[in-house]
Each structure stands twice: as C-alpha cells, then as structure tokens.
C-alpha cells in the first residue's frame, strides 16, 4: 500500500484548531480535576449566555469564532431499557475541545461510568460537518502557566477516561475529526464514519509546528500499527474516509444519515458479550498502554507546559490567530 499517496494532498489539508471562551466553567473544572469525586452540582453551575459562533468555511483554515455560550456542551440521551447512552457533542460551531467542554465531558463520562445500568456509550456530534475540531487554540495562547497546566490535565483526563472506560464505547463520526477529534475517536472501542469524501480524520499537528503527546502515538500504534502512525504523525496527515478505512483508522463507513443507526446496531452486538468477560479482556488489551501513560503523566505535563509557553510557540500561535482574524475581515 502506498501510504503516502493514500493521504490527502498537503495543500488541501485543513486545520481545525479552534477556540471558544469558557470563563464560567473554570471553577467547575478546578473542582473536578482536583477532587474527582465531587460531581454534584457542577453542571448546574455552568451559567448560560447566548451563543454567536458560526463555522468559518475558509478553504484552508477553519476555526471557531468566540462563543460565549456556557449552555450545556453535551446532550446525553440514556436509554434505560437498552443500557446505552448517546452523547451528542454540541459545542458550536466545531465542537472544539476547550477547557470548558473537556470538563463537562469528563464529568458526563464519569457519571455514566458509575451508573451500573449504563453499559454502552455512543459518542457523536450535533454540529453539521464536524465530529470534533480538536483542542481549542484559545486555551493554548496567552495564558498563565497554571492555566496551561489546567487545560492539559483536562486533555489527559479526557483520554484516560475514554480509553479506560468499562463501557463499550463507539464513535459515530458524522463529520471531520482532526487532531484531538481523532484522538477521541481512537479512544473508543469501535469507529463508524460517514462516507463523505469531504470529511477527514487524522493528526495534522506537525503541519502547524505542533507535536502530539506520546500517548497519542501509543494509542494510534495499537490501532493502525507503527508505520502508519509514523507517517501520519510526522507528515501531519488527514485521511478521507476511504483511506482511513484502508489503514484501519476507522472500522466501518456508512452513508451519512446512517451513522448513528449503525452505531446503535453495532452496540447491540457488543452488548451481547457478557460484560465481565469483555471488560477483563479490554483491560488486558489496554492496561499496558494505560500503565505506560500513567507513569509518564507528569513528565508529559512538564513537556507540554515547557513547549506551549515558549516564546517561539506563542509567537507562531499569535501569527496564526492574526491570520484567522484577517480572513474573517
């Protein structure tokens, strides 16, 4: 297989770095991450305000406009009879993984995890054309050291929670899913993607001078192997659904309007397996990776803070944001 050709053309590669404000969510996050058992009341503390985000469909770059909404960024539909929860991400316009969103996400997953009647989780997007655009660039620019730490801890937490979930987790990828969105998908047990050639999935970080964390590499390697991971991460490749299927980055393609229905049907098959046996097996498969990540978690944090707070990194991000502003005119 010509892995190189199977990637999208560089010139067409699209960045989905995005940003959103999340002022009201910070206290909630702090409480969550410092004391994960305190779940009560956090969601209700998120104050509400009007949203005025919109998708900027520049041919080269898409980024999230300021979005002051702190209305729930997730809609969770839990079906008691099937034991399956569907989590709709609704952080307009592109489900960027802001500190606020990640906080809400971690709380929601933990809630379901603790509910013994919930056995399966389907993750999907309420936003058109995008599953998730990845990490919110606004949480990575012009902040204090402790804010960078807070954000990165939330990113680590999101991955750990999803990757080590006892539930069956299925990503119903109904839109583009670059960078952090791809990581989120990779953390699930199974990936179903809309067969729309305009959507893409992968890790385009290096194209913008950014480097993915090592746990991203570990998780991806277990799915698509070392060589595909090497090519993807070094070249910052995004794949169209058909190429993503070829290398195993997603498991199945279906027409766009059947993504959720197929996820639901697939979930039934996974839930036919006795829970305890499936869980022990899942742990057997993933524990080595989780253990490795846990052992380097603080080193990874220091590495991130050091990298993101560098003058050169901040300057690069600043230039990038300026460019976005001008594009919007």
Phi and psi (nearest 5°) for 124?
A: -150, 180
Task: Closer to a copy of itself by CB, 34 or 269: give it.
Answer: 269
User: Of the listed pieces 57-65, 72-80, 98-106, 230-238, which binds a copy of itself according to CB under 8 A?
Assistant: 230-238
Which long-range contacts (C-beta less than 8 Å, at least 24 apart) are formed by 70-79? 70/22, 70/23, 70/24, 70/25, 70/46, 70/100, 71/46, 72/43, 72/46, 72/104, 73/100, 73/101, 73/104, 73/105, 74/101, 74/104, 74/105, 74/108, 75/126, 76/108, 76/112, 78/112, 78/115, 78/118
Answer yes or no whether residue 300 interacts with a copy of itself by CB under 8 A: no
Task: Determine which one of 175, 180, 181, 202 is catalytic.
Answer: 180
Token output for 48 = 């509400």
Task: Determine which one of 204, 235, 240, 249 is catalytic.
Answer: 204
What distance in Å separates the CA atoms of residue 172 and residue 190, rounded to the nearest whole number? 9
Answer yes or no whether residue 276 interacts with a copy of itself by CB under 8 A: yes
Identify the DSSP state of 188: S
Phi and psi (nearest 5°) for 208?
A: -115, 20
Q: Is 12 a catalytic residue?
A: no
User: Of the listed pieces 48-56, 58-66, 120-128, 220-228, which binds a copy of itself according to CB under 8 A?
Assistant: 220-228
Answer yes or no whether residue 90 interacts with a copy of itself by CB under 8 A: no
Binding mask 33-62 for a copy of itself (x = CB under 8 A): ------------------------------
Answer yes or no whether residue 298 interacts with a copy of itself by CB under 8 A: no
Answer yes or no whether residue 230 interacts with a copy of itself by CB under 8 A: yes
Taking the CA atoms of 128, 60, 250 and 167 in sequence, report the sign of the dihedral they define.
Answer: negative
Restricted to residues 242-271, the positions that interact with a copy of itself (CB under 8 A) are 245-246, 248, 251-252, 266, 269-270
Task: Determine which one of 205, 228, 240, 317 is catalytic.
Answer: 205
Q: Is 218 a catalytic residue?
A: no
Q: Is 180 a catalytic residue?
A: yes
Q: Is 135 a catalytic residue?
A: yes
Phi and psi (nearest 5°) for 94?
A: -125, 25
* Strand 96-97 with 134-135, pairing: parallel
What distance in Å separates the CA atoms of residue 238 and residue 233, rounded to the nearest whole number? 10
Query: What is the closest distance, in whole angstroms, from the C-beta atom of residue 72 to a copy of itself in the complex?
Result: 32
List of residues contacting a copy of itself (CB under 8 A): 1-5, 10, 189-190, 205-212, 214, 217, 221-227, 229-230, 233-236, 245-246, 248, 251-252, 266, 269-270, 272-274, 276-278, 280-282, 284-285
- List the catalytic residues: 135, 180, 204-205
């Amino acid at each position: 297989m010509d892995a190189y050709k199977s990637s999208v053309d560089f010139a067409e590669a699209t960045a989905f770095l995005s940003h959103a404000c999340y002022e009201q969510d910070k206290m909630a996050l702090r409480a969550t991450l410092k004391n994960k058992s305190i779940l009560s009341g956090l969601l209700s503390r998120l104050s509400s305000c009007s949203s005025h985000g919109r998708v900027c469909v520049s041919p080269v770059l898409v980024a999230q406009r300021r979005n002051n909404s702190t209305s729930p960024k997730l809609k969770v539909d839990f079906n008691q009879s099937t034991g399956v929860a569907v989590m709709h991400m609704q952080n307009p316009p592109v489900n960027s993984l802001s500190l606020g969103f990640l906080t809400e996400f971690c709380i929601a997953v933990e809630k379901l995890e603790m509910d013994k009647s919930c056995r399966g989780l389907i993750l999907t997007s309420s936003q058109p054309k995008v599953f998730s655009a990845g990490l919110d660039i606004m949480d990575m620019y012009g902040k204090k050291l402790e804010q960078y730490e807070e954000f990165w801890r939330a990113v680590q937490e999101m991955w750990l929670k999803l990757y080590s979930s006892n539930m069956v987790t299925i990503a119903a990828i109904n839109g583009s899913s670059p960078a952090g969105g791809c990581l989120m998908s990779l953390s699930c047990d199974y990936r179903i993607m809309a067969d729309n050639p305009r959507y893409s999935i992968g890790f385009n970080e290096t194209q913008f001078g950014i480097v993915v964390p090592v746990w991203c590499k570990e998780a991806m390697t277990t799915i698509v192997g070392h060589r595909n991971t090497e090519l993807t991460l070094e070249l910052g490749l995004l794949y169209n659904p058909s190429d993503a299927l070829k290398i195993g980055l997603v498991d199945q393609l279906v027409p766009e309007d059947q993504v959720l229905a197929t996820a639901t049907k697939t979930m039934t098959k996974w839930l036919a397996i006795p829970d305890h046996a499936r869980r022990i097996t899942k742990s057997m498969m993933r524990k080595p990776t989780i253990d490795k990540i846990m052992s380097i978690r603080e080193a990874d944090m220091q590495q991130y803070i050091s990298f993101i707070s560098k003058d050169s990194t901040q300057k690069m991000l600043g230039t990038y944001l300026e460019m976005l502003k001008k594009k919007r005119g």
